[in-house]
């Protein structure tokens, strides 16, 4: 496992603070993606700018490279990715934590049962997280999790969401050998209205140590009423950063 050839020698130093980005399409990023043409507008806000000395991402090939939007282009590769919360998060925390390593893992339209231990998505996420830490001699600092929209479409999925979410968190911590790994959980703002509040209440009521919730409700949505706009993603990333700094770093 090596750093991308596109990085300079002084950029190929081990990342120390590693954050897993996982969940569904809003974590993968749809900011700036036209719902009709499925094209990304290419607009990168200043808060999401690349920083070749401080912010890196683990590619699908397990190589470290300079992080830039769209972070999930080779992970959520069957869809068009745009701006997500990861880059604004990284830019907001880098002054406090130093070099940031991002591990994109989110995939669109995935219910939580597809993130159960033993599934492809779950095992890929865990393996990528382990590879990131091994490759950089760094430390896994938190999992940023934005998922649940898909579970609002059936009563069965919404009803089993609490059990599945708690098991997911426990399994991730166990499999990464990090029993206190911080989880910053985004409470969803969109989905099928029939069961949206049921899933939101589960997320807001999660009662496990080192789990912090950030509510996305009220952030502007695109015309599809599912995906956050680019400004909303920027704001969410900064909110996630503030939650990490306040509740985890103290």
Contacting residues for 174 by C-beta, under 8 A, at least 6 apart:
none
Question: Could you tell me if 11 and 52 are in contact, meaning their C-beta atoms sit under 8 angstroms apart?
Answer: yes
Q: Which of 63, 72, 88, 227 is the catalytic position?
A: 227
Q: b or e along 115-147 (b: 16 or more beta carbons within 10 Å of the residue's beta carbon)? A: beeeeeebeebbebbeebbebbebebbbbbbbb
Q: Show the tokens assigned to 47.
A: 């808060």
Q: Which of 22, 25, 54, 136 is the catalytic position?
A: 25
Q: Would residue 224 show up in a list of annotated catalytic residues for this protein? A: yes
Identify the H or E element spanning 144: strand 139-146
Instruction: For residue 64, give the 3-state DSSP assignment.
Output: strand
DSSP 15-58: P-EEEEEEESHHHH--BTB-TTT--B-----GGG---TTTEEEE
Q: Would residue 25 show up in a list of annotated catalytic residues for this protein? A: yes
Phi, psi of 87 (to 5 degrees): -70, -40
Pick the closest to residue 107 from 72, 65, 159 (CA basis): 72
CB atoms within 10 A of CB 61: 10
Active site residues: 25, 224, 227
């Amino acid at each position: 496992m090596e750093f991308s050839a596109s990085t300079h020698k002084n950029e190929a130093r081990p990342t120390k603070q590693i954050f897993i980005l996982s969940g569904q399409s809003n974590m993968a990023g749809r900011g700036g993606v036209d719902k009709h043409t499925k094209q990304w507008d290419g607009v990168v806000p200043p808060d999401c700018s690349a920083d070749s000395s401080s912010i890196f991402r683990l590619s699908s090939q397990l190589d470290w490279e300079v992080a830039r939007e769209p972070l999930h282009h080779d992970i959520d590769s069957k869809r068009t990715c745009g701006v997500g919360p990861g880059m604004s998060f990284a830019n907001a925390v880098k002054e406090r934590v130093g070099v940031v390593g991002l591990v994109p893992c989110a995939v669109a339209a995935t219910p939580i049962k597809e993130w159960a231990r033993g599934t492809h998505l779950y095992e890929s996420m865990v393996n990528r997280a382990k590879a990131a830490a091994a490759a950089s001699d760094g430390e896994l600092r938190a999992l940023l999790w934005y998922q649940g929209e898909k579970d609002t479409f059936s009563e069965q999925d919404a009803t089993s969401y609490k059990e599945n979410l708690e098991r997911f968190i426990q399994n991730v911590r166990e499999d990464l050998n990090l029993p206190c790994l911080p989880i910053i959980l985004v409470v969803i703002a969109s989905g099928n209205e029939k069961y949206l509040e049921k899933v939101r209440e589960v997320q807001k009521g999660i009662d496990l140590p080192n789990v912090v919730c950030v509510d996305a409700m009220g952030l502007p949505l695109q015309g599809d009423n599912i995906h956050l706009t680019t400004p909303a993603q920027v704001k969410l990333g900064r909110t996630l950063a503030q939650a990490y700094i306040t509740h985890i770093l103290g």
